[in-house]
Chain A
Amino acid sequence: MSKLNALAISDNGFIFKPSTGESFITNEIGLFIIQLLKSGKKADEIIQEIIQDFEVDNLTAGKDLYEFLDFLKKENMTD
C-alpha cells in the first residue's frame, strides 16, 4: 500500500497517519489534491483541475500544488 493510501482522510480534511499516530488538518484544496493524487493524476492534470474548480490562474494553482506536495513529502506521507 502506498503511503498516501495508508492515510485515513475524512471529508472534513482531517488526516490521520496510522504509522506514527500524527494527525493533520488540510483545507478544501489540500483535500482536492490528495484525492486527485490517489486517483493517479499527474501534476499538470491536477493543476488544470484546480484552475477549473477553484477559478484561479495557472501560477496560483501551481503554487498551491507544489506547496502541498512539499508538505506531504516533509511529513513523509508520499512515497
Chain B
Amino acid sequence: MENKKLTIAVTGLNNIDSPGPGVPVIRALKKSGMDIKIIGLAYENLEPGIYMPGLVDKSYLMPFPSTGSEAFLERLAYVHEKENLDIVIPNFDSELFLFIKFNDKLKQMGIHTFLPTLEQFEERHKDNLPEYASNYNITVPESKPLVNIKELENLPKPLSYPYYIKGKFYEAFKVSNLAQSQYYFNKLSAKWGLPVVVQQAIQGTEVNVIALGDGEGNTVSAVPMRKQYITDKGKAWGGITISDERLLEITHDIIKKTKWRGALELEMIKTDDGEYYLIEINPRIPAWVYLAVGAGQNLPEMLCKLALGEKVEPVTAYKTGKMFIRYSWDLIGDISDFEKIIVFGEL
C-alpha cells in the first residue's frame, strides 16, 4: 500500500453547522502519511470542502441518491474513468444504502469500500432500535416509529413528555407538548419521509463512541467522547475524549455480536446512576472523527487498509483529555470556481 499512490473519493464535504464528516476524514487521511490523491464528491455546489485550499485534488458534483441508482452509478463510473478510484468513503446516511447495495458492482469496477452489510445497515435503523436492543441485550429508551400524525395523540405508555421526535435519517427535536410534536412530525416527515420516530428523553450526559469493526467481530479502533458543547441541531461543537471502560465494553460487545463491518458511531446517554442508554447507531464515520485522530487512532487510515483487504491490528490506546472545538471560517472564493462547479460539475 505504501508503494502505490491511492486515489480516494470522499463524500460529505458540507462543513456547515450540521457538518458532514468528509473534511475531517480527508484531514485524517492526509495526516496518515499515505501517498494519496483526494477526490471530493459533492451533492451541492456550495459545499465548503470543494473550495477549501489544499483539501481536495479535484471535486465532482454527484446527483442526489434520491434521483435513482442509475444516474448515481453512471456519474460514479464517469468519475472513476477520469480518476481511477481505489477507494470510496461515503459519509452520508442517505447515500449509504446505494453504496452498500452496489458494493459488488463497485468492486468489479476496482473501487473498494469498507461498509456494513445491508443486513447490518437495515437492522440498526432508528425505527428498529427496540428490536435491535432486545436481540443484542442493549438498553435503549422507549421508542416508537410513527407513520401517522394521529398516533401522537395516543402514544403507548410509558412514553411521556419530554420526548424526542426524530427524522428517519437526520434531526431530532425535544418536545414537551402535543402542539410541538405535531409541528415537528410534519416538518420531519416532509424532509426525511416516514416513519418519524418518537423516543423517550433520558436525563443524563451524552457520550459517544467512534469505532471500527473488521467484519469478523473484532473492534479495530474505538474512542469515546463526551460532548461539551451541543448546537441547537444537537451536533457536537466541542468534545473531549474520556476514559470510560463500560462504554468501551458495550462497544466491543455490539461489534462482536453483530460482526460489524466498517465505521460506526454509538450515541449514548449515561445517567447519574451510571446506566447507559443507546439512543442511536450511525453506520458511518461521525463528523468528530478528527478528535480520534488527535487522540491517537487514525480510523480513516485503518478503514482504507481494511478496504484494500489488508490485515489491521486492533488499536486500543488513546489519549484522554484531548479536546476538539469547531469554528466557522469565512473562505474567500472566486466566481470562476463557482462557475466551473455550476457549468461543468467539477473543479
A residues at B contact (CB < 8 Å): 6, 8, 16, 18-22
Contacts and interface: CB of A to CB of B under 8 A. Distances in A.
B321 A19 contact: no
B139 interface: no
Contacts of A21: 207, 225-226, 228, 239-242
B244 interface: yes
B320 A18 contact: yes
B321 A20 contact: no
Contacts of B242: 18-21
Contacts of A20: 205, 226, 242, 244, 270
Interface centre among A18, A19, A20, A21 (most CB of B within 10 A): A21
Interface string B307-324: 000000000000011000
10 interchain residue pairs of minimum CB distance: A21-B226, A18-B243, A18-B320, A21-B242, A21-B240, A16-B321, A19-B243, A19-B244, A18-B242, A20-B242
Interface in B42-61: none
Contacts, number: 24
Given A8-B321, A18-B243, A19-B243, 19 more contacts: A6-B243, A16-B321, A18-B242, A18-B320, A18-B321, A19-B244, A20-B205, A20-B226, A20-B242, A20-B244, A20-B270, A21-B207, A21-B225, A21-B226, A21-B239, A21-B240, A21-B241, A21-B242, A22-B226
Nearest to B243: A18
Nearest to B247: A19
Interface string B219-263: 000000110100000000001111110000000000000000000
A8 B323 CA distance: 15
A19 B244 CA distance: 5
B236 to A, nearest CB: 12
18 contacts: A6-B243, A8-B321, A16-B321, A18-B242, A18-B321, A19-B242, A19-B243, A20-B205, A20-B226, A20-B242, A21-B207, A21-B225, A21-B226, A21-B228, A21-B239, A21-B240, A21-B241, A21-B242
Nearest to B242: A21
A74 B320 CA distance: 23
A8 B242 CA distance: 12
Contacts of B321: 8, 16, 18
Nearest to B274: A76
A22 B243 CA distance: 11
A19 to B, nearest CB: 6
A8 B239 CA distance: 17
A21 B207 CA distance: 10
Contacts of A6: 243
Contacts of B226: 20-22
A16 B244 CA distance: 14
A18 B228 CA distance: 13
B230 to A, nearest CB: 13
Nearest to A17: B242
Contacts of B228: 21
B87 to A, nearest CB: 33
A16 to B, nearest CB: 5
Contacts of A18: 242-243, 320-321
Contacts of A16: 321
Nearest to A6: B243
